[in-house]
Amino acid sequence: MSPLQTMSRYPFAEIEPRWQAYWEEHGTFRAVEVPGQPKFYCLDMFPYPSGAGLHVGHLEGYTASDIVSRYKRMRGFNVLHPMGWDAFGLPAEQYAVKTGIHPAITTAENIATFRRQMKRAGLSYDWAREINTTDPGYYRWTQWIFLKLFERGLAYVAEVPVNWCPELGTVLANEEVVEGRSEVGGFEVVRRPMRQWVLKITAYADRLLEDLERVDWPASTWEMQKNWIGRSIGAEVDFPLDGVNGNLRVFTTRPDTLFGATYMVLAPEHPLVDALTAPAQREAVAAYREAAARKSDLQRQELDKEKTGVFLGGHAVNPVNGERLPVWIADYVLMGYGTGAIMAVPGHDARDWAFARAHHLPIREVVAGGDVTREAFVDLEHGVAVHSTTPDGAFSIDGLEAAEAIARITDWLEAAGKGRRAVNYKLRDWLFARQRYWGEPFPIVWVDGEARGLPEEQLPVKLPETDRFKPEGTSEDPQSPLARLSDWVETLDPVSGRPARRESNTMPQWAGSCWYYLRFLDPSNPERLVDPAREKYWMPVDLYIGGAEHAVLHLLYARFWHKVLFDIGVVSTPEPFMKLVHQGTVLGEDGTKMAKSVGNVVNPDDVIERFGADAVRLYEMFMGPLEATKPWNTRGVEGITRFLDRVWRLLVDEEGRLSGALTGDDPSPDHLRTLHQTIRKVTEDLDGLRFNTAIAQLMTYVNELTPLKRRPRALLEPLVLLLAPFAPHIAEELWQRLGHAESLAHATWPAWDPALVEADTVTVAVQVNGKLRATLEFPRGADAETVASVALADERVRRHLEGFVVGKRIHVPDKLLNLVITPR
RNA sequence: GCGAGAGUGGCGGAACUGGCAGACGCGCUGGACUUAGGAUCCAGUGGGGAAACUCGUGGGGGUUCGAAUCCCCCCUCUCGCACCA
């Protein structure tokens, strides 16, 4: 950069660090509870501090929340805007496995980088509230919450089918498995039954579903949570076994199709398989079960075109008509949902239809309206029940539509003791243990094969030191690296004093992020998770900004913990996050996803170095709507620096002094109007998080002021304030040069005068048959007659009327006149 | 396959409850100031046309005085879910 170029640029490299130091020294962004002052809790999803540092995608969400925070401060709110680190997790640990360097060391380094980058971007966090999930002072309370869950029976050990990832040497939650592979690393995952810690999130399924009504979230996220919980209402029906004592219980959402069941299917893992297997089938069944057990989820998916299964040889009896139904096993029926068994109604279920076709099983129509020889008829709205009368004629739903039929037959089943109403959820209990080193230890010891919670006074259970981080467990014996540390594992039961073994699994990464927003309220309280008065003051989070990738995982888990904390009186609100916004993805300059392998990653350090933090912040917001996916364009950042240069030159002359063009003049009415329009637009857009259009309006305003030789302060001071949330460094600098001693961080946001916003003349569009022919100036409020008479006299309008009769005149005051004409 | 969202200039994107399509920025063109311009300032910039005009918001229908906006059908893209009985 040549010296001459530098002259026309505002000196961001000098200004920005100076103001960052000022804010830090003066504690400008410290948040302190002030009774009576309205609060605003503006939260970012705190990051996992990876080795790569921040990229401009992170910065988009952080900038947005920072702008809102700064704006709200100027609107008189007491703003809480904190930041911390979700620092347990796989990458640091995998790095440790590879290099032997303790994850605590790399984590600390990465955090230092993140913090430096955030400060450099001018983010107005209250750094006094910084938290770190790996800090024993923090995870002590993560463990404390676990104890509460354990005490309430919401944490338990069970033999459950889990997702075992051999490559990572750990189990994973359903939510961490994407298309049969681990979300982290993309390694293959297999299903295995294992004894593991599980959290009973299903006990909260209804509340998690219902309370979605209370929050203002993106519809897509709302919908995803709803689908993930997957509540469905139906009935459980008991089918007596033929020749064997016992019942086969199934769940169905379509009890109205009970008369159409032609066979039954069990999941391969179902406990009744053995009882129902005929000697002749034993070998085939065993082979099928073994094959199914070996299949990973990935393989199951690849094979989903063809429905496989084996007949067991046994039968069950349909309780409505006494028919003997053959019982099969097939892996399209899942052990984890419902009862792990279904009644197959091929006429009215697409999966059963495909299976029946493949295995030559009968298909029976019991809802008229489709053609069950061609495909399953599953329409719930249309069609009436047929062939649905008991053999003795005592009960029938024939002729009824589905809704009515379902109610009737369910009542009948209940009365007869053959079934009952039932609700099922897709949501499963949350597999909570990981066979890893770098996570929170459980506050649990095992005594005589029984899990016991440690007393609160013994918290935190600190993560023991080691230099061997590699999990060496197998699917038969999944073991955390902690299991090898016998000095740590072998302990005494604090109650009985008898020998005990510590639980050696660790918690998953989600644990720490389930409640971090509460610790920010009272980050170093040694007595409590959070002081109740502080909790009441700050909660709930008013605005929560973070990536859509957490739509299910983090946001569902955190809501679950929050509700438990609500139940035990730790928090006062049923939901933690009121308004939620997901920032969109920032793509590389080439329009593809930023990735190190492609080499299109934009590092904020580089762009801040070249253009300054203010320019980067402004550009991040100017690219487009916050939620949209949009490509980075360095040229666009240059455009923004030109804008900031123009703002600078409005107030500062070539020698760097306050410009002599500034005057105490009253602004012209036109300029005053643009000012008030700008205040209104920027204010409304900030309230609606429409940062891009707010910036566009600021540009328009600056463009209008630029040609002025004499520039009234009354036009410029509000501009500086309006710009401040977006570009705080340049704004602070200009504000100071304008003679203000105090930082503008808490200055009063400009107000607009509605009377000054509207112009007294308006442009009215004149259309003929909907086509624009002229635009005319009128005083505001001109009536239809006035507008029409001028319009009809206008040559540009008149020449389109020749040979036609003017019929209807549509007049939208101050906007438009449309003349509807027909041939004469 | 199911669910949600989105398709507007060369590019990123504007457009309130239907009312002047393309704000603002990038890029581009021309000019001014300059030894110089990758600085700055001024003017222009959807396509076609000399102009009058005309065509234009993924494609095709429709409603309306009037549609980017509302309705129907189709195409494309993005993101979820994926045998949940």
Enumerate the CATH 1.10.730.10 domain ranges in chain A, comma separated: 634-756
Note the pLDDT of residue A549: 86
Q: Give residue A97's pLDDT band: very low, low, confident or very high (50, 70, 90).
A: confident
DSSP-derived secondary structure for A691-739: HHHHHHHHHHHHHHHTT-SSEEHHHHHHHHHHHTTTSHHHHHHHHHHTT
The residue lying closest to nucleotide B37, measuring its CA against C1', is A5
> Which nucleotide's C1' is closest to A815 (Cα)?
B19
Q: What is the pLDDT of residues A474-500, one digit of tens each?
A: 766 777 888 889 899 999 998 889 999
The residue lying closest to nucleotide B83, measuring its CA against C1', is A332
> Which nucleotide's C1' is closest to A4 (Cα)?
B39
- DSSP-assigned beta bridge partners for residue A236: A251, A420
Report, at the CATH architecture level, how domain A634-756 is classified: Orthogonal Bundle (1.10)
The domain made up of A759-823 has a fold known as Ubiquitin-like (UB roll) (3.10.20)
Note the pLDDT of residue A6: 42
For A125, half-sphere exposure in the C-beta direction (CA atoms, 13 angstrom radius) is 23
DSSP helix/strand/coil, A233: strand
Write out the two tokens for A800: 């389109």
Output the distance from A714 CA to B25 C1' rounded to whole Å. Answer: 27
Q: How far does chain A reach from its first CA to its final CA, in angstroms?
A: 70
Return the residue matching tokens 């380094």: A109
Output the distance from A697 CA to B24 C1' rounded to whole Å. Answer: 7
Between CA A645 and CA A612 the distance in angstroms is: 12
Q: How far is CA A250 from CA A84, A234, A406, A412, in A?
A: 48, 11, 16, 17
Given the cut 0.90, state whether the ipTM is greater than it. yes
> Which nucleotide's C1' is closest to A702 (Cα)?
B24
Bond into A494 cis (ω within 30): no
> Which nucleotide's C1' is closest to A174 (Cα)?
B81
Enumerate the CATH 3.40.50.620 domain ranges in chain A, comma separated: 142-227+429-502
> Which nucleotide's C1' is closest to A344 (Cα)?
B85
- Pick from A6, A10, A2, A3: which is nearest to A659 by CA? A10
The residue lying closest to nucleotide B6, measuring its CA against C1', is A628
Dihedral in degrees, nearest 10, Cα atoms A617, A621, A622, A627: 160
Q: What is the pLDDT of residues A186-199, one digit of tens each?
A: 787 777 778 889 99
- Pick from A556, A538, A555: which is nearest to A546 by CA? A555
Q: Which of A81-90, A425-434, A774-783 has the highest mean predicted lDDT (pLDDT)?
A: A81-90
Residue A345 has pLDDT above 90, yes or no: yes
Output the distance from A438 CA to B35 C1' rounded to whole Å. Answer: 65
Output the distance from A739 CA to B9 C1' rounded to whole Å. Answer: 45
- Pick from A229, A228, A170: which is nearest to A197 by CA? A170
Are A562 and A571 in contact, with CB atoms under 8 Å apart? yes
> Which nucleotide's C1' is closest to A699 (Cα)?
B24
The residue lying closest to nucleotide B27, measuring its CA against C1', is A635
> What is the layout of strands, in order, in the sheet containing A232-240?
A247-252, A232-240, A419-424
DSSP-derived secondary structure for A272-326: THHHHB-GGGHHHHHHHHHHHHH-BHHHHHHTTTS---EEEEEEEE-TTT--EEE
Output the distance from A816 CA to B7 C1' rounded to whole Å. Answer: 29
Between CA A793 and CA A195 the distance in angstroms is: 89
Q: Give residue A824's pLDDT band: very low, low, confident or very high (50, 70, 90).
A: confident
The domain made up of A142-227+429-502 has a fold known as Rossmann fold (3.40.50)
Enumerate the CATH 3.90.740.10 domain ranges in chain A, comma separated: 234-424
Output the distance from A118 CA to B42 C1' rounded to whole Å. Answer: 40
Output the distance from A381 CA to B12 C1' rounded to whole Å. Answer: 46
The residue lying closest to nucleotide B12, measuring its CA against C1', is A623
The residue lying closest to nucleotide B20, measuring its CA against C1', is A765
> Which nucleotide's C1' is closest to A763 (Cα)?
B20
> Which nucleotide's C1' is closest to A306 (Cα)?
B83
Strand A490-492, strand A499-502: pairing: antiparallel
Q: Give residue A417's pLDDT band: very low, low, confident or very high (50, 70, 90).
A: very high
The residue lying closest to nucleotide B4, measuring its CA against C1', is A220
Output the distance from A697 CA to B10 C1' rounded to whole Å. Answer: 24
Q: What's the rounded mean pLDDT across residues A807-822?
A: 90
Output the distance from A635 CA to B40 C1' rounded to whole Å. Answer: 18
Q: What is the pLDDT of residues A428-444, one digit of tens each?
A: 899 898 888 999 999 99
Output the distance from A629 CA to B78 C1' rounded to whole Å. Answer: 9
Are A433 and A253 in contact, with CB atoms under 8 Å apart? no
The residue lying closest to nucleotide B26, measuring its CA against C1', is A636
Output the distance from A789 CA to B20 C1' rounded to whole Å. Answer: 19
Between CA A570 and CA A534 the distance in angstroms is: 11
Q: Which of A174-183, A377-386, A522-531 has the highest mean predicted lDDT (pLDDT)?
A: A522-531
In angstroms, how far apart are the furthest CA atoms of chain A? 108
> Which nucleotide's C1' is closest to A339 (Cα)?
B85
Are A358 and A303 in contact, with CB atoms under 8 Å apart? no
> Which nucleotide's C1' is closest to A698 (Cα)?
B24
> Which nucleotide's C1' is closest to A646 (Cα)?
B40
> Which nucleotide's C1' is closest to A351 (Cα)?
B83
Enumerate the CATH 3.10.20.590 domain ranges in chain A, comma separated: 759-823
Region of A267 on the Ramachandran plot (φ > 0 left; ψ -120 to 50 alpha; else beta): beta
Of A290-299, A463-472, A770-779, give the lowest mean pLDDT range.
Answer: A290-299
Note the pLDDT of residue A4: 36
Output the distance from A652 CA to B35 C1' rounded to whole Å. Answer: 28
Q: Give residue A519's pLDDT band: very low, low, confident or very high (50, 70, 90).
A: very high
Q: Determine how many CB atoms are found less than 10 A away from the CB of residue A346.
A: 26
The domain made up of A234-424 has a fold known as Isoleucyl-tRNA Synthetase; domain 2 (3.90.740)
Output the distance from A772 CA to B62 C1' rounded to whole Å. Answer: 23
- DSSP-assigned beta bridge partners for residue A441: A506
Q: Which residues of A82-93 are buried (b: 16+ CB within 10 A; e: fewer)?
A: bbbbbbbbbbbb
Output the distance from A770 CA to B20 C1' rounded to whole Å. Answer: 11
In chain A, what percentage of residues exceed pLDDT 70? 97
Output the distance from A629 CA to B76 C1' rounded to whole Å. Answer: 17
Output the distance from A724 CA to B21 C1' rounded to whole Å. Answer: 32
Output the distance from A605 CA to B59 C1' rounded to whole Å. Answer: 45
Residue A1 has pLDDT above 70, yes or no: no
Note the pLDDT of residue A618: 96
The residue lying closest to nucleotide B65, measuring its CA against C1', is A820
Dihedral in degrees, nearest 10, Cα atoms A710, A713, A719, A723: 110
> Which nucleotide's C1' is closest to A224 (Cα)?
B80
Q: Which nucleotides of B are covered by protein (CB under 7 A)?
A: 3-5, 11-15, 19-21, 23-27, 36-42, 53-54, 65-67, 78-85
Q: What is the pLDDT of residues A301-332, one digit of tens each?
A: 654 567 889 999 999 999 999 999 999 999 89
The residue lying closest to nucleotide B14, measuring its CA against C1', is A693
Output the distance from A632 CA to B26 C1' rounded to whole Å. Answer: 12
> Which nucleotide's C1' is closest to A337 (Cα)?
B84
Q: How far is CA A488 from CA A485, A498, A527, in A?
A: 5, 15, 26
> Which nucleotide's C1' is closest to A330 (Cα)?
B83
Output the distance from A562 CA to B1 C1' rounded to whole Å. Answer: 36
Residue A810 has pLDDT above 50, yes or no: yes
Between CA A380 and CA A395 the distance in angstroms is: 21
The amino acid at residue A210 is E
Q: Give residue A299's pLDDT band: very low, low, confident or very high (50, 70, 90).
A: low
Output the distance from A618 CA to B26 C1' rounded to whole Å. Answer: 15
Q: What is the pLDDT of residues A109-146, one digit of tens each?
A: 999 999 999 999 999 999 999 999 999 999 999 999 99
The residue lying closest to nucleotide B53, measuring its CA against C1', is A773
Residue A90 has pLDDT above 90, yes or no: no
- Pick from A274, A656, A224, A717: which is nearest to A427 by CA? A224
Q: What's the rounded mean pLDDT across residues A75-94?
A: 94
> Which nucleotide's C1' is closest to A807 (Cα)?
B65
